[in-house]
Amino acid sequence: MKVLFVCHGNICRSPMAEFILKALVKAKGHEGQYYIESAAVSTEETGNPIYPPAKRCLNQHGIPFDNGKRARQVTRADYDRFDRIICMDASNLRWIRRIIPDDPQGKIHLMMSYTGVGRDVADPWYTGDFEQAFQDILEGCEAMLQAVAVSS
């Protein structure tokens, strides 16, 4: 399963999701079954590292991350490369439709839709609450893994 997480700039929520999911699948011994990346809908942060408060939050939870991770923008080619493209909020979903206008295979999802709640992942860029974003992402990743296991 190839998963791409998407947020606005690829420096907070989507890299947090990338490394949270990597940690979850590693803990289950399933890392060989997954390829996980993250990207942005915008170009604003392209080339920038993970935002320091996001790194601190991952560290506080013992989630390893790649310090070399740099923000990149989603491309149309990503649709063919990934099985699931998971957006952090409704705004990301609207933006991604400009880059990937069609989703005939139903690959593009909202993160929290896996939890049965149609809300956005809290955006710490505006709230400063990285812990809330972490908890939302963790809940979404766990629910997605459950959904994948059920559908397999």
Active centre residues (catalytic):
7, 13, 123
Q: How many Å apart are CA 113 and CA 116, to the nearest integer?
A: 5
Q: Would you state the structure tokens that stand for residue 8, as one six-digit string?
A: 């606005």
- Contact, 83 vs 101, CB < 8 A? no
Give CA separation, 18 vs 22, 53, 101, 134, in Å: 6, 16, 24, 11
